[in-house]
């Protein structure tokens, strides 16, 4: 662990120097997925799943809501900083994703999206299939801006992060009798992983060679999950966590298969389950005061439109809380998660 901390320190110093020189460690950072990484794509959709109003964004450097499901920065914002970028990948559906702004990568993520396209469709979010179509569209724009050779170097050298699966379970499978009566959690995982396998293959065929995918978090410990599925208990819901662990094991196995069949592919599975569980289980050891309740409102259920300026009970200091809303970590927790991702992701930048 000491060696990893040392490596992390070296990378942070190098990325700081490179960012000062205006030269990131990789040519681009592209992000696909769900609300954990959405930076505002849902702002432009006819969906209830949005975060473009207070108190979201109150601790962001602009002190304004951006569409991030957080009081401040996401883990991927910190990741962009660590990689030496001086700005964050813009939401692809926003006005910022124009001209040369897109050359360092863009963010295609949409809250309530997942590996199972029907999940996104239920909430009028952008499916992963559509996100990949937008990615192809982005590639064409990059080619027209810099030419094919330079564009291909951006596609192959850029890091591509994928965050999905949580919404498939929490916002669809567990609350949808048509799914949970037809499939066991194990069978549903297999459906999701088939979609993941196809996604990575398609990205590889488009010239992508560096992909990072996040595991499921300890879904049974999310404040809203405890409220919805905990039967009145204040403890993590063990069956949800067991499903997440099972999915994560399969995700690792599937990723190993992909690496063995796709030459030159750098694919890293980022474990966010254990780092987040550590913050939840031992909040005071990690500089937090509260890990069961979220900061927003009562801290038991509020997210998206339920977490708003009129929510009663919202905390004044989110740095003490592991969770900002019922489903999403606070900026302080995201920073710690991003540091863990950096330690795990050395292969993607080497």
Q: Which residues are catalytic?
A: 35, 325, 328
Q: Is 310 exposed, middle or buried (0-12, 13-18, 19+ CB in 10 A)?
A: exposed
List, as own/partner pairs, every contact residues 22-26 make where C-beta atoms lie below 8 angstroms and the sequence separation is at least 24, other chains included.
22/86, 23/84, 24/83, 24/84, 24/85, 24/104, 25/83, 25/84, 25/349, 26/83, 26/157, 26/158, 26/159, 26/210, 26/348, 26/349
The CA distance from 12 to 28, in Å, is 18
The residues that bridge with 30 in the sheet, in sequence order, are 160
The CA distance from 332 to 336, in Å, is 7
* Cα–Cα nearest to 205, from 265, 128, 130: 265
CB neighbours of 74 closer than 8 A, spacing ≥ 6? 36, 37, 39, 68, 334
> What phi and psi, each to the nearest 5 degrees, are found at residue 329?
-65, 155
């Amino acid at each position: 662990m000491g060696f990893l901390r040392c490596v992390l320190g070296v990378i942070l110093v190098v990325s700081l120097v490179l960012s000062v020189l205006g030269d990131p460690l990789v040519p681009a950072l592209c992000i696909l997925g769900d609300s954990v990484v959405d930076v505002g794509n849902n702002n432009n959709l006819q969906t209830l799943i949005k975060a473009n109003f207070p108190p979201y964004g109150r601790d962001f450097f602009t002190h304004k809501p951006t569409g991030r499901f957080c009081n401040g920065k996401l883990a991927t914002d910190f990741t962009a900083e660590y990689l030496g970028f001086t700005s964050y990948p813009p939401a692809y559906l926003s006005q910022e994703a124009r001209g040369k702004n897109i050359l360092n990568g863009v963010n295609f993520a949409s809250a309530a999206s997942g590996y199972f396209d029907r999940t996104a469709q239920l909430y009028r979010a952008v499916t992963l299939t559509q996100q990949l179509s937008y990615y192809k569209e982005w590639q064409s724009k990059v080619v027209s801006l810099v030419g094919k050779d330079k564009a291909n170097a951006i596609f192959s050298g850029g890091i591509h992060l994928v965050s999905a699966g949580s919404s498939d379970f929490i916002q669809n499978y567990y609350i949808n009798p048509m799914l949970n009566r037809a499939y066991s959690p194990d069978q549903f995982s297999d459906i999701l992983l088939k979609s993941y396998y196809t996604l990575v293959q398609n990205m590889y065929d488009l010239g992508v060679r560096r992909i990072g995918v996040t595991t499921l978090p300890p879904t049974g410990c999310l404040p809203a999950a405890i409220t919805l599925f905990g039967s009145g208990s204040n403890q993590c819901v063990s069956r949800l966590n067991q499903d997440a662990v099972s999915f994560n094991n399969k995700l690792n196995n599937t990723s190993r298969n992909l690496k063995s069949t796709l030459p030159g592919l750098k694919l890293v599975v980022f474990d966010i389950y254990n780092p987040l569980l550590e913050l939840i289980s031992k909040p005071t050891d990690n500089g937090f005061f509260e890990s069961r309740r979220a900061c927003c409102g009562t801290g038991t259920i509020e997210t998206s439109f339920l977490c708003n300026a009129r929510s009663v009970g919202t905390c004044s200091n989110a740095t003490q809380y592991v969770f900002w809303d019922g489903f999403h970590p606070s900026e302080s927790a995201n920073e710690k998660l991003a540091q863990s991702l950096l330690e795990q992701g050395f292969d993607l930048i080497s």
